[in-house]
Copies of this chain bind each other. A is one copy, B any other.
Amino acid sequence: MSLTEWKSVSRRHVLGGLAALPALSALPALFAASGARADEAAPLPSWNDRPAKQAILAFLRAATDPASTDFVPAEDRIAAFDQDGTLWVEHPIYTQVVYCLDRVPGLVKANPHLAKVEPFRTALTGDLERIGKLSLRDLETIAAATLTGMDVETFAAEAKAWIEAAHDHRWKRFYTDLVYQPMQEVLGLFRANGFKTFIVTGGGQDFVRVYSQRVYGIPPEQVVGSALGTQFGYDKAGRPILTKEPKLLLNDDHAGKPEGIHLEIGRRPHAAFGNSTGDREMLEYVKSGGGARLMMLVLHDDAKREYAYGPARGLPDTRVGSFPAALDDQAKRDGWVVVSMKDDWKRIFAFGG
Protein backbone atom coordinates (compact mmCIF):
# COMPACT_ATOMS: atom_id res chain seq x y z
CA MET A 1 0.00 0.00 0.00
CA SER A 2 1.41 3.37 -0.96
CA LEU A 3 1.69 6.29 1.38
CA THR A 4 -1.05 8.03 -0.53
CA GLU A 5 -3.33 5.05 -0.18
CA TRP A 6 -2.52 4.89 3.49
CA LYS A 7 -3.40 8.52 3.93
CA SER A 8 -6.72 7.95 2.28
CA VAL A 9 -7.40 4.91 4.42
CA SER A 10 -6.30 6.50 7.66
CA ARG A 11 -8.50 9.50 7.01
CA ARG A 12 -11.44 7.31 6.13
CA HIS A 13 -10.77 5.30 9.23
CA VAL A 14 -10.62 8.41 11.26
CA LEU A 15 -13.78 9.75 9.83
CA GLY A 16 -15.62 6.49 9.86
CA GLY A 17 -14.62 5.02 13.12
CA LEU A 18 -14.01 7.57 15.77
CA ALA A 19 -16.77 10.11 15.85
CA ALA A 20 -20.16 10.95 14.51
CA LEU A 21 -19.97 13.43 11.67
CA PRO A 22 -22.63 15.76 10.35
CA ALA A 23 -23.75 14.77 6.89
CA LEU A 24 -21.66 16.33 4.16
CA SER A 25 -24.86 17.64 2.64
CA ALA A 26 -25.04 20.07 5.54
CA LEU A 27 -21.91 21.82 4.35
CA PRO A 28 -23.36 24.25 1.81
CA ALA A 29 -25.85 25.58 4.33
CA LEU A 30 -23.07 25.85 6.82
CA PHE A 31 -20.99 28.00 4.50
CA ALA A 32 -23.98 30.08 3.49
CA ALA A 33 -24.64 30.85 7.13
CA SER A 34 -21.25 32.49 7.48
CA GLY A 35 -19.97 35.78 6.12
CA ALA A 36 -20.88 37.92 9.09
CA ARG A 37 -19.33 41.35 8.57
CA ALA A 38 -18.36 42.05 12.13
CA ASP A 39 -17.18 45.48 13.12
CA GLU A 40 -13.41 44.95 13.20
CA ALA A 41 -12.88 48.08 15.25
CA ALA A 42 -14.83 46.66 18.20
CA PRO A 43 -13.10 43.92 20.20
CA LEU A 44 -14.00 40.27 19.66
CA PRO A 45 -16.17 40.80 16.55
CA SER A 46 -16.85 37.08 16.14
CA TRP A 47 -18.33 36.83 19.63
CA ASN A 48 -21.97 37.41 20.37
CA ASP A 49 -22.59 39.94 23.11
CA ARG A 50 -23.25 37.46 25.87
CA PRO A 51 -21.76 36.70 29.30
CA ALA A 52 -18.67 34.90 27.94
CA LYS A 53 -17.58 37.88 25.85
CA GLN A 54 -18.37 40.22 28.72
CA ALA A 55 -16.29 38.10 31.09
CA ILE A 56 -13.26 38.39 28.80
CA LEU A 57 -13.62 42.15 28.48
CA ALA A 58 -14.21 42.59 32.22
CA PHE A 59 -11.12 40.52 33.00
CA LEU A 60 -8.94 42.57 30.67
CA ARG A 61 -10.27 45.83 32.08
CA ALA A 62 -9.52 44.75 35.65
CA ALA A 63 -6.09 43.34 34.77
CA THR A 64 -4.93 46.48 32.99
CA ASP A 65 -6.53 49.22 35.11
CA PRO A 66 -3.94 50.46 37.63
CA ALA A 67 -6.80 51.67 39.81
CA SER A 68 -8.31 48.18 39.98
CA THR A 69 -7.68 46.06 43.07
CA ASP A 70 -7.20 43.18 40.60
CA PHE A 71 -4.58 45.02 38.52
CA VAL A 72 -1.91 42.73 37.07
CA PRO A 73 1.54 44.28 36.51
CA ALA A 74 2.64 44.09 32.88
CA GLU A 75 5.38 41.56 33.61
CA ASP A 76 2.92 39.13 35.21
CA ARG A 77 0.49 39.09 32.28
CA ILE A 78 0.62 35.46 31.22
CA ALA A 79 -2.26 33.61 29.57
CA ALA A 80 -2.35 29.89 28.75
CA PHE A 81 -4.33 28.31 25.92
CA ASP A 82 -4.92 24.63 25.36
CA GLN A 83 -4.75 23.87 21.63
CA ASP A 84 -6.77 20.80 20.56
CA GLY A 85 -10.45 21.66 20.84
CA THR A 86 -9.69 25.11 22.25
CA LEU A 87 -7.78 26.86 19.46
CA TRP A 88 -8.49 24.44 16.62
CA VAL A 89 -10.57 21.40 15.73
CA GLU A 90 -9.68 18.18 17.54
CA HIS A 91 -12.37 15.95 16.05
CA PRO A 92 -12.64 13.34 14.83
CA ILE A 93 -9.02 12.73 15.79
CA TYR A 94 -6.09 14.83 16.94
CA THR A 95 -4.16 16.15 13.95
CA GLN A 96 -0.91 14.91 15.38
CA VAL A 97 -2.27 11.35 15.54
CA VAL A 98 -3.10 11.59 11.84
CA TYR A 99 0.49 12.71 11.31
CA CYS A 100 1.81 9.68 13.19
CA LEU A 101 -0.43 7.27 11.29
CA ASP A 102 0.66 8.86 8.02
CA ARG A 103 4.27 8.13 8.92
CA VAL A 104 3.79 4.40 9.57
CA PRO A 105 4.26 3.22 5.95
CA GLY A 106 7.53 5.15 5.66
CA LEU A 107 8.63 3.73 8.99
CA VAL A 108 7.88 0.18 7.88
CA LYS A 109 9.63 0.75 4.58
CA ALA A 110 12.77 1.71 6.49
CA ASN A 111 12.27 -1.10 9.04
CA PRO A 112 10.58 -3.98 7.15
CA HIS A 113 10.45 -6.26 10.18
CA LEU A 114 7.88 -3.93 11.73
CA ALA A 115 5.36 -5.07 9.12
CA LYS A 116 4.79 -8.17 11.24
CA VAL A 117 4.86 -6.41 14.61
CA GLU A 118 1.80 -4.98 16.36
CA PRO A 119 0.44 -2.36 16.35
CA PHE A 120 2.18 -1.51 13.06
CA ARG A 121 0.75 -4.59 11.37
CA THR A 122 -2.76 -3.45 12.20
CA ALA A 123 -2.00 0.14 11.24
CA LEU A 124 -0.88 -1.11 7.83
CA THR A 125 -3.86 -3.34 7.11
CA GLY A 126 -6.17 -0.53 6.23
CA ASP A 127 -8.87 -2.42 8.11
CA LEU A 128 -10.82 0.47 9.52
CA GLU A 129 -12.55 -1.53 12.20
CA ARG A 130 -9.33 -2.98 13.53
CA ILE A 131 -7.46 0.31 13.41
CA GLY A 132 -10.30 2.00 15.24
CA LYS A 133 -9.84 -0.44 18.11
CA LEU A 134 -6.17 0.35 18.70
CA SER A 135 -5.64 1.13 22.34
CA LEU A 136 -4.12 4.32 23.69
CA ARG A 137 -1.00 2.30 24.42
CA ASP A 138 -0.91 1.15 20.79
CA LEU A 139 -1.17 4.74 19.63
CA GLU A 140 1.63 5.71 22.01
CA THR A 141 3.78 2.95 20.54
CA ILE A 142 3.11 4.31 17.06
CA ALA A 143 3.83 7.85 18.25
CA ALA A 144 7.13 6.87 19.85
CA ALA A 145 8.20 5.03 16.71
CA THR A 146 7.22 7.74 14.27
CA LEU A 147 8.33 10.78 16.27
CA THR A 148 11.77 9.67 17.47
CA GLY A 149 15.13 8.60 16.13
CA MET A 150 15.67 11.63 13.91
CA ASP A 151 17.38 14.87 14.80
CA VAL A 152 15.11 17.67 15.90
CA GLU A 153 15.60 19.78 12.80
CA THR A 154 14.80 16.89 10.47
CA PHE A 155 11.67 16.29 12.52
CA ALA A 156 10.70 19.95 12.25
CA ALA A 157 11.29 20.03 8.49
CA GLU A 158 9.19 16.89 7.92
CA ALA A 159 6.38 18.05 10.20
CA LYS A 160 6.38 21.44 8.48
CA ALA A 161 6.15 19.85 5.04
CA TRP A 162 3.27 17.67 6.22
CA ILE A 163 1.24 20.38 7.93
CA GLU A 164 1.63 22.63 4.90
CA ALA A 165 0.20 19.96 2.63
CA ALA A 166 -2.26 17.78 4.57
CA HIS A 167 -5.98 18.49 4.39
CA ASP A 168 -8.79 17.48 6.63
CA HIS A 169 -11.60 15.40 5.17
CA ARG A 170 -14.68 17.35 6.11
CA TRP A 171 -13.80 20.89 5.07
CA LYS A 172 -11.11 19.90 2.55
CA ARG A 173 -8.86 22.53 4.05
CA PHE A 174 -5.45 22.68 5.66
CA TYR A 175 -5.62 21.64 9.27
CA THR A 176 -4.18 25.04 10.10
CA ASP A 177 -7.24 26.68 8.54
CA LEU A 178 -9.36 24.96 11.18
CA VAL A 179 -8.42 27.40 13.93
CA TYR A 180 -11.30 29.08 15.69
CA GLN A 181 -11.62 32.70 14.59
CA PRO A 182 -13.15 33.80 17.92
CA MET A 183 -10.13 32.40 19.76
CA GLN A 184 -7.72 34.07 17.34
CA GLU A 185 -9.42 37.31 18.33
CA VAL A 186 -8.94 36.48 22.00
CA LEU A 187 -5.23 35.79 21.44
CA GLY A 188 -4.84 39.11 19.65
CA LEU A 189 -6.82 41.06 22.25
CA PHE A 190 -4.80 39.56 25.10
CA ARG A 191 -1.56 40.50 23.36
CA ALA A 192 -2.88 44.00 22.68
CA ASN A 193 -3.40 44.24 26.45
CA GLY A 194 0.17 43.31 27.23
CA PHE A 195 -0.34 39.59 27.85
CA LYS A 196 2.14 37.01 26.70
CA THR A 197 0.10 34.21 25.16
CA PHE A 198 1.27 30.63 25.66
CA ILE A 199 -0.04 27.41 24.21
CA VAL A 200 -0.20 24.68 26.86
CA THR A 201 -1.11 21.53 25.00
CA GLY A 202 -1.29 17.81 25.66
CA GLY A 203 0.05 17.44 22.13
CA GLY A 204 3.74 17.32 21.32
CA GLN A 205 5.43 20.68 21.70
CA ASP A 206 7.92 19.94 18.92
CA PHE A 207 5.00 19.44 16.53
CA VAL A 208 3.03 22.55 17.52
CA ARG A 209 6.14 24.74 17.50
CA VAL A 210 6.50 24.09 13.78
CA TYR A 211 3.48 26.24 12.93
CA SER A 212 2.64 28.19 16.11
CA GLN A 213 4.15 31.48 14.93
CA ARG A 214 2.54 31.35 11.50
CA VAL A 215 -0.86 30.17 12.66
CA TYR A 216 -1.31 31.75 16.10
CA GLY A 217 1.37 34.43 16.24
CA ILE A 218 2.89 32.48 19.13
CA PRO A 219 6.65 31.89 18.96
CA PRO A 220 8.01 28.37 19.56
CA GLU A 221 9.36 29.23 23.01
CA GLN A 222 5.82 30.09 24.10
CA VAL A 223 4.56 26.60 23.32
CA VAL A 224 4.48 24.21 26.27
CA GLY A 225 3.47 20.67 25.42
CA SER A 226 4.22 17.03 25.92
CA ALA A 227 7.90 16.56 25.35
CA LEU A 228 10.19 13.68 24.60
CA GLY A 229 13.79 13.85 25.68
CA THR A 230 16.59 14.57 23.24
CA GLN A 231 20.15 13.35 23.18
CA PHE A 232 23.01 15.63 22.18
CA GLY A 233 25.56 14.07 19.84
CA TYR A 234 27.28 14.40 16.49
CA ASP A 235 26.22 13.18 13.08
CA LYS A 236 28.58 11.35 10.70
CA ALA A 237 29.96 14.66 9.49
CA GLY A 238 30.73 15.66 13.07
CA ARG A 239 27.94 18.23 13.18
CA PRO A 240 26.29 18.61 16.60
CA ILE A 241 22.70 17.40 16.59
CA LEU A 242 19.90 16.64 19.02
CA THR A 243 18.22 13.29 18.46
CA LYS A 244 14.64 12.73 19.58
CA GLU A 245 14.43 9.90 22.09
CA PRO A 246 11.48 7.67 23.03
CA LYS A 247 11.62 8.93 26.59
CA LEU A 248 8.71 10.98 27.90
CA LEU A 249 10.03 14.04 29.71
CA LEU A 250 6.73 15.85 30.20
CA ASN A 251 3.21 14.48 29.82
CA ASP A 252 1.54 17.85 29.49
CA ASP A 253 -2.01 16.86 30.30
CA HIS A 254 -4.09 16.92 33.48
CA ALA A 255 -1.67 17.54 36.40
CA GLY A 256 1.11 17.72 33.81
CA LYS A 257 -0.25 21.04 32.58
CA PRO A 258 0.47 23.09 35.70
CA GLU A 259 3.73 21.14 36.06
CA GLY A 260 4.66 22.00 32.47
CA ILE A 261 3.69 25.62 33.05
CA HIS A 262 6.02 25.76 36.01
CA LEU A 263 8.83 24.07 34.08
CA GLU A 264 8.71 26.27 31.01
CA ILE A 265 7.03 29.50 32.12
CA GLY A 266 7.88 29.58 35.81
CA ARG A 267 4.81 31.29 37.24
CA ARG A 268 1.08 31.06 37.54
CA PRO A 269 -0.81 32.46 34.53
CA HIS A 270 -3.70 34.85 35.13
CA ALA A 271 -5.94 33.35 32.47
CA ALA A 272 -6.41 29.87 31.04
CA PHE A 273 -8.58 28.48 28.27
CA GLY A 274 -9.36 24.81 27.81
CA ASN A 275 -12.10 22.48 26.68
CA SER A 276 -11.80 19.17 28.51
CA THR A 277 -10.98 17.35 31.74
CA GLY A 278 -7.33 17.43 30.64
CA ASP A 279 -7.44 21.17 31.35
CA ARG A 280 -9.05 20.90 34.79
CA GLU A 281 -5.88 21.06 36.90
CA MET A 282 -4.57 23.96 34.82
CA LEU A 283 -7.72 25.95 35.43
CA GLU A 284 -7.66 25.12 39.14
CA TYR A 285 -4.06 26.26 39.33
CA VAL A 286 -4.71 29.47 37.42
CA LYS A 287 -7.70 30.31 39.60
CA SER A 288 -5.75 30.07 42.86
CA GLY A 289 -3.69 33.24 42.74
CA GLY A 290 -4.07 36.93 43.38
CA GLY A 291 -5.16 39.63 40.97
CA ALA A 292 -7.58 39.29 38.06
CA ARG A 293 -8.30 35.69 37.02
CA LEU A 294 -10.13 34.23 34.05
CA MET A 295 -10.83 30.54 33.51
CA MET A 296 -12.75 29.50 30.39
CA LEU A 297 -13.87 26.23 28.85
CA VAL A 298 -15.03 25.85 25.27
CA LEU A 299 -18.05 23.56 25.01
CA HIS A 300 -18.46 21.84 21.66
CA ASP A 301 -22.22 22.03 21.30
CA ASP A 302 -22.42 22.95 17.65
CA ALA A 303 -22.85 19.81 15.58
CA LYS A 304 -23.84 21.83 12.58
CA ARG A 305 -20.94 24.24 12.28
CA GLU A 306 -18.31 22.04 14.01
CA TYR A 307 -18.90 19.04 16.31
CA ALA A 308 -20.98 18.26 19.36
CA TYR A 309 -19.55 16.27 22.24
CA GLY A 310 -19.67 16.27 26.00
CA PRO A 311 -21.06 14.16 27.58
CA ALA A 312 -22.18 17.15 29.66
CA ARG A 313 -25.61 18.63 28.87
CA GLY A 314 -26.66 15.50 27.02
CA LEU A 315 -24.07 15.92 24.28
CA PRO A 316 -22.64 12.75 22.70
CA ASP A 317 -19.83 10.97 24.54
CA THR A 318 -16.98 10.59 22.04
CA ARG A 319 -13.53 9.12 22.11
CA VAL A 320 -11.64 12.36 21.48
CA GLY A 321 -12.34 15.15 23.96
CA SER A 322 -14.25 14.86 27.21
CA PHE A 323 -16.39 17.53 28.83
CA PRO A 324 -18.33 15.54 31.43
CA ALA A 325 -21.12 16.84 33.64
CA ALA A 326 -18.70 16.95 36.58
CA LEU A 327 -16.55 19.50 34.73
CA ASP A 328 -19.63 21.56 33.95
CA ASP A 329 -20.57 21.44 37.64
CA GLN A 330 -17.10 22.47 38.73
CA ALA A 331 -17.15 25.36 36.27
CA LYS A 332 -20.40 26.61 37.75
CA ARG A 333 -19.15 26.17 41.32
CA ASP A 334 -15.76 27.81 40.75
CA GLY A 335 -16.74 30.66 38.48
CA TRP A 336 -15.22 29.27 35.32
CA VAL A 337 -16.91 30.53 32.18
CA VAL A 338 -18.26 27.94 29.75
CA VAL A 339 -18.27 29.12 26.15
CA SER A 340 -21.05 27.70 24.01
CA MET A 341 -19.74 27.49 20.46
CA LYS A 342 -23.32 27.51 19.23
CA ASP A 343 -24.48 30.54 21.18
CA ASP A 344 -21.33 32.55 21.86
CA TRP A 345 -19.58 32.42 18.50
CA LYS A 346 -20.93 34.27 15.47
CA ARG A 347 -18.63 32.30 13.26
CA ILE A 348 -16.26 29.43 13.85
CA PHE A 349 -13.57 29.80 11.19
CA ALA A 350 -11.98 32.71 9.34
CA PHE A 351 -13.05 31.13 6.07
CA GLY A 352 -16.63 31.49 7.17
CA GLY A 353 -17.49 28.08 8.60
- A residues with a Cβ closer than 8 A to B are 75, 78, 152-153, 196, 198, 205-206, 209, 213, 219-223, 227, 229-233, 239-240, 242, 249-250, 255-256, 258-259, 262-268, 281, 284-285, 287-288
Contacts and interface: CB of A to CB of B under 8 A. Distances in A.
A306 B132 CA distance: 66
A229 B268 CA distance: 16
Nearest to A258: B232
Given A205-B266, A230-B259, A240-B285, 8 more contacts: A152-B262, A221-B267, A231-B259, A232-B256, A232-B258, A240-B284, A242-B262, A249-B263
B258 A242 contact: yes
24 contacts: A75-B219, A196-B221, A205-B266, A209-B266, A209-B267, A220-B265, A220-B266, A221-B222, A230-B259, A231-B255, A231-B259, A232-B256, A232-B259, A232-B281, A239-B288, A240-B258, A240-B284, A240-B287, A240-B288, A242-B258, A242-B259, A242-B262, A249-B263, A263-B264
Contacts of A221: 78, 196, 198, 221-222, 264-267
Residue in A152, A232, A264, A288 with the greatest tally of chain B CB atoms within 10 Å: A232
A259 B151 CA distance: 12
* Main DSSP-derived SS at the A contact region: mixed
List the 5 closest A-B pairs by CB distance, nearest first: A220-B266, A232-B255, A240-B284, A209-B266, A221-B265
A277 to B, nearest CB: 14
Contacts of A152: 262
Contacts of A75: 213, 219
Nearest to A244: B262
Contacts of A262: 152, 230, 242
Contacts of A255: 231-233
A196 B219 CA distance: 11
A285 to B, nearest CB: 5
A284 B229 CA distance: 19
Contacts of A239: 288
A230 B265 CA distance: 13
A285 B232 contact: yes
A217 to B, nearest CB: 10
Given A239-B288, A249-B249, A288-B239, A229 B259 contact: yes
Contacts of A281: 232, 240
